[in-house]
Amino acid sequence: MKKNILHNNPTGLFAKYLQSAIFFVIVFSFGFSYNAFTQVVRNPISEVSETAKHYSYTYMLSQTQKKEIEYIIVKASNGDIKTVFNACDVCYNAHKGYSQSGTQLRCNNCGNRFNIDQLGGQGTGGTCNPGYLPHSIDGSDIVINVPDLVKGEYFFLIQTVSDVEYIAKGENSAYPKTLIKNGELNIKMPLDSHRNFRILSLNGQICRAFDNTSKDLSVDITDLSSGVYLLSVEESGNMYTKVFCVYK
């Protein structure tokens, strides 16, 4: 019987896999964000009203830097859902965002006001108008594509990720903790919570995609070929990752 083994001291073929893993982490850390694997963000329609609510999406730039991409969801007088960035092309450098004043959003920098019923125009056109952020409705959820969120990342400041913050990437992640044993990938998270899991190959192919709420779970990986893989875990808009190797 073939066994999947996670080696701590690489030799031979496994060394090649480990080198690939290191290269993979470096490339993604400095040239690409793991958040790209998070395809959508969902917000329940039930929590949306005519009172504007502010949200944020954590976008990792590197292992030590991030941006909190801020956006607003509010319901218009006719019941339509409006989603916009909490910034505009004119005043975003002030990083003051918008606040609600009656049926309008008010720029906290220049004071311009915009009717909530008229939000959603695609072109900001260099005007002080809440940045356009498209969305769709899927059942009881408001769905926003992560690539659309990332388009507005330039509005927001770069922040430093502290050593103790539970947002990390690659082999520096505190979680997920992983162990390969008897053909299973054992995954450990700190608490029970709803999460989306994906196992991806180096070329970006999704080998597994599933949801789970347990802090401890096991995934059958006996059909995975020898090589390097990325485990990505999405939880509440944040992304946690771990590189692991399968060696047969």
CATH number at residue 132: 2.102.10
Q: Is the dihedral of CA 23, 29, 31, 36 positive or negative?
A: positive
Q: Residue 226 belongs to what domain range? A: 13-32+166-246
Residue 155 and residue 70: Cα distance in Å, rounded?
A: 9
Residue 44: strand pairing partners: 141
Q: Percent of the chain at pLDDT above 90?
A: 39
Backbone region of residue 191 per phi and psi (left: phi > 0; alpha: psi in -120 to 50; beta: other values): beta
Residue 155 has pLDDT above 90, yes or no: yes
pLDDT in tens, 63-92: 567 888 999 999 999 999 999 999 998 999
Q: Which pLDDT belongs to residue 122?
A: 57
Backbone region of residue 228 per phi and psi (left: phi > 0; alpha: psi in -120 to 50; beta: other values): beta
Same domain, yes or no: 115 and 221: no
Same domain, yes or no: 179 and 203: yes
Query: ∠ CA(113), CA(119), CA(120), 5° rounding?
Result: 145
pLDDT in tens, 37-60: 446 888 999 999 999 999 998 877
pTM assigned to the model: 0.56
pLDDT in tens, 160-185: 865 434 333 333 346 788 888 888 99
Domain annotation covers residue 155: yes
Count the neighbouring beta carbons within 10 Å of the beta carbon of residue 245: 19
Q: Which pLDDT belongs to residue 165?
A: 43
Q: Indicate which CATH number applies to the domain containing 231.
A: 2.60.40.3080
Q: Which pLDDT belongs to residue 55?
A: 94
Same domain, yes or no: 62 and 119: yes
Query: ∠ CA(79), CA(84), CA(90), 5° rounding?
Result: 140
